[in-house]
Structure 1
């Protein structure tokens, strides 16, 4: 049977793509060469924007229940807390999820795979993509099966979610420009006790050493640190071999090490995210330092961006050119993310007395002062949580009225019982009006079978940058496509005509 989409790789990116496509009625086959979900925790952080998008498939509450909320980050230097950054006071005005959620990737993958199975799609395990051909008619992929035999899978599209060493990317001969840092990192999942085993995140800076602690359960957490010495036997190191100076400065006792590993950090972005009927997502398209826990969340964002576009094209509701907007919107963010995390990584890992002085004395003091400034707090939270990500100036974004423009994430309004994100659970085009919806916009939405949601006007709406009585056309991934002043439907009609998008499948 010919599939609509073949997905290579069943990490979080591939599983989310499969879930969002299946929910929209797209036939998918998802394969993975491994026996099951990864047995180790790897990526740990689920950010606010991912949780917002997870509401589309009723996933957010399950992830929240299973994960651990870190409400603050404590910055230590030389054994003393120099700054405490709390997310809730600022983030609570911007998102329903004003915290860093720590949820180990192995548990995350199991949840996503179970949800996919509930929709009738099973991951084909121990199945490896060996080769593929693609042309205007589709994709033909040769697979190696668990018993050593082979199979040919035909599909309309192929999604490479197969990691940093992506065979799909290599087969496409897409450059993966960037490099590998000299330093070696270690990660350790530990059982711990002491004053800092308190469920919050901690970063400890010491001369020639640092460690970050992320709690993910009572008395359990992950340590991320740097192996300062350049060693040829880094793969053979144990927890006992690495420096404990920064750990001891946290007054933390490690009672048991459940998993330990070392790794090198890469910073690369693929030159292309798509070629013909083949797409690259997640680590197959971009890898960067673990600073800020951005990697997995960015891959999930790739998947949700692509899923609604694939569904629209496969259903005949949009022309093929809609798919080109995937690369246009996601590659710029990936490049910016790699550049930002590269600067932070270089600062954290720089060696020498001057670097130590800046890192231990200057940076914590500046962080404490800066975080007391409201605008700085908001900016930092938006960057960390990915709620600042926008597609302004992109191929699908129109109009610039007010502070909220085409391409922006819709501001969240969550006070006095109001939740304008409740309607975003639908993976569909919709219109929001804040104030009064005029008769002409009501008539247009009714004629197009377009959901229209009208919310009262108030101070919070004005403070969020919304324009009174304007119509906000929202894409199926909940980003603003068009802002129509005074709710005039002509701008919405012109938008769909320009994009060649039909609001219902042809008969």
Structure 2
């Protein structure tokens, strides 16, 4: 019987990122997928700023930036004309190294992740399906069906369900998946086209209760149309063709379609699993939460799940933390998933509401009010922070402690770049570290050196104060770059208490318990 530290079920972006992070942290990973090959089409497109920030840890950010398409703005259309334009650079400037939306289709994204994983000596086992598993005292025994139909058992310390909306892992642990299904039928079409909506920006039509967006792809004249239908056409999803839905894009957004490379239809659900963990089994990505595509949040949220869980599994397997550290995964991620599903549901419901009042709000009020509201910096920042996921925090989580300046334990560290010095550069490391903005005391420096924790001091500048950081305070950063502890006094005693209270060791104990 084969043995691994972690069995990853599902080789979409969530599973691949989890496998990559774990492998980089020295964990023995086995990743399986029931498909014969990576997908060649995909519905997920957006890579948000927070994902790019986290991808620095795997040296992936630059590769995504090179291969993807940078979207500078979103345009709102009414009655066949562009009615409002919101520039991402203006909205996100000064908040992140990546103040834009990046379009990088999921199929290309997966190929990049697979290549990186293979360079580390880990290959996806294709046509290998999880049938079920049982939990033992020190691990799980999983039953797999291989390419030839043969069934074998394998052992792992932990099993992670990255296996999508119909997750076998979720079904096996008996976690409910409450929620519902949108009545609209979604369609997606990759096209080669011309027209004003093919200028490399994102375009959304507000005219009808059926959603329609034109999402730019890399390459001249390439775009993806994503839309919905709710009339009698929605009842014949199996036979629906692009010609049945193309009139609106052609007439409302003036898209001159030259070729259709791919067309597909699908239904969308909005659900969150009741639990993200049971014993040695975990749920991530679509296995844990699914929602409307509003805001391009789905794939990014699954990647966030993977990064949150990876360092915790690695710490426990290395004997550097107790099992209760793994409870913090659900505590930190399930609340965000529930808020996200509620938020995307409200946005999608507004965009697709029926009736004259809803139409008036979309076509008359929204194009006028949104640009005016967005002219105020606090509103622009709130909009960008929310969509880009840089506002996501774990303030109420069990691993978060303290406040220094405006930064709480559990927050994303504010990004500041001063005179070429980027305070996110040290975050490429994948372990605990301490930041001090101002001067670190000799005692703190000595304690960090003795505990082998990197400490990074940044000479005080007013830019740090404007970002909410406190002078001479210490900020303890977790391996996933979130602030674990914010201490305004900057004392080593605060660090020692934090690690002691959470049972986290800075050197390995008894591994793989």
Alpha-carbon contact 1:136-1:277 (below 8 Å) kept: no
Q: Secondary structure at the match of 1:394?
A: coil
| Alignment partner, residue 475 of structure 2 | 472
Whether 1:129 aligns to 2:163 is no
Query: Helix, strand or coil for the counterpart of 1:390?
Result: coil
Question: Which residue is equivalent to 2:79?
Answer: 78
User: Unaligned 5+ residue runs, structure 2?
Assistant: none
SS for the counterpart of 2:39 is coil
**Which residue number in structure 1 is paired with residue 297 of structure 2?**
294
Q: TM-score with structure 2 length normalisation?
A: 0.97
CA contact (8 A) 1:135 1:276 kept: no
Please say if 1:345 is aligned against 2:348.
yes
Aligned partner of 1:49 in structure 2 is 50
Equivalent residue runs for 1:324-343 within 5 Å:
324-343=327-346
Is residue 220 from structure 1 mapped to residue 188 from structure 2 by the alignment? no
**Counterpart-to-counterpart distance in 2, 1:103 and 1:302:** 19
The answer on 1:485 being equivalent to 2:488 is yes
C-alpha displacement of 1:359: 1.2
Encode CA deviations 1:437-480: one digit per residue, 9 max, x unaligned: 11111111111011000011112100100000001000000000
TM superposition shift of 1:209: 4.1
Distance in 1 of aligned mates of 2:276 and 2:390: 22
Distance 1:469 1:248 in 2: 59
RMSD, aligned CA: 1.1
Q: Deviations over 1:409-432 (max 9, x none)?
A: 001112320111111011000000
Taking the TM superposition and a 5 Å limit, the aligned residue runs for 1:456-471 are 456-471=459-474
| Alpha-carbon distance between aligned partners in 2 of 1:152 and 1:269, rounded to the nearest angstrom | 30
1:312 to 293, 304, 315: 315
Q: What is the distance in 1 between the residues matched to 2:250 and 2:493? A: 61
Cα 1:360–1:295 change in 2 (3 A) is same
Deviation (angstroms), 1:400: 2.0
In 2: Cα distance, 1:209 partner to 1:474 partner: 44
For 1:77 and 1:246, the matched residues in 2 are separated by: 12
Aligned to 1:165: 166
SS of residue paired to 2:456: strand
Counterpart residue number, 1:183: 184
**Which residue in the other structure is 1:233 paired with?**
236
CA pair 207-311 structure 1, distance change in 2 beyond 3 A: closer
Q: Could you tell me how far apart the structure 2 residues matched to 1:247 and 1:458 are? A: 53
Structure 2 Cα separation of the partners of residues 210 and 330 of structure 1: 29
The whole-number CA distance in structure 1 between the counterparts of 2:156 and 2:477 is 30
The aligned counterpart of 1:91 is 92
SS of equivalent residue, structure 1 residue 198: coil
| Aligned residue runs from structure 1 range 82-481, under 5 A | 82-217=83-218, 218-230=220-232, 231-242=234-245, 244-481=247-484
Number of the residue aligned with 1:2:
3
Give the TM-score taking structure 1 as reference length: 0.98
1:346 & 1:101 partners in 2: Cα distance? Answer: 25
Give the distance between the partners of 2:141 and 2:230, measured in 1 at CA: 47
Instruction: Please tell me whether the aligned partners of residues 90 and 378 of structure 1 are also in contact (alpha carbons under 8 angstroms).
Output: yes
Could you tell me which residue of structure 1 aligns to residue 63 of structure 2?
A: 62
The count of corresponding residues between Structure 1 and Structure 2 is: 507
8 A Cα contact 1:19 1:116, kept in partner: yes
Using the alignment, how far apart are the partners of 1:158 and 1:401 within structure 2?
Answer: 38
| Higher deviation after alignment, 46-55 or 144-153 | 144-153
CA deviation after TM superposition for structure 1 residue 41, in Å? 2.4
Deviating more after overlay: 35-44 vs 226-235: 226-235
Change (3 A) 1:368 1:90: closer
Q: Deviation at 1:181? A: 1.1
Q: Distance in 2 between matches of 1:386 and 1:225?
A: 24
Aligned residue for 1:223, secondary structure, equals: strand
Give how far 1:401 is off.
2.6
Q: Distance in 1 between matches of 2:180 and 2:126?
A: 31
What is the alpha-carbon distance in structure 2 between the residues aligned to residue 472 and residue 400 of structure 1?
Answer: 9
SS at match of 1:2: strand
SS in 1 for 2:421: coil
Post-superposition offset of 1:243: 5.2
Please say if residues 210 and 226 of structure 1, whose CA atoms lie closer than 8 Å, have aligned partners that are also in contact: yes
Residue 235 of structure 1 aligns to a residue whose secondary structure is coil
Report how far residue 247 of structure 1 moved.
Answer: 4.1
Checking the alignment, whether the CA contact within 8 Å between 1:227 and 1:243 is kept in structure 2 is no
In 2, Cα distance between the equivalents of 1:182 and 1:249? 23
CA shift for structure 1 position 69: 0.3
Measure how far apart 1:246 and its partner are: 4.4
Counterpart of 1:387 in 2: which secondary structure? coil
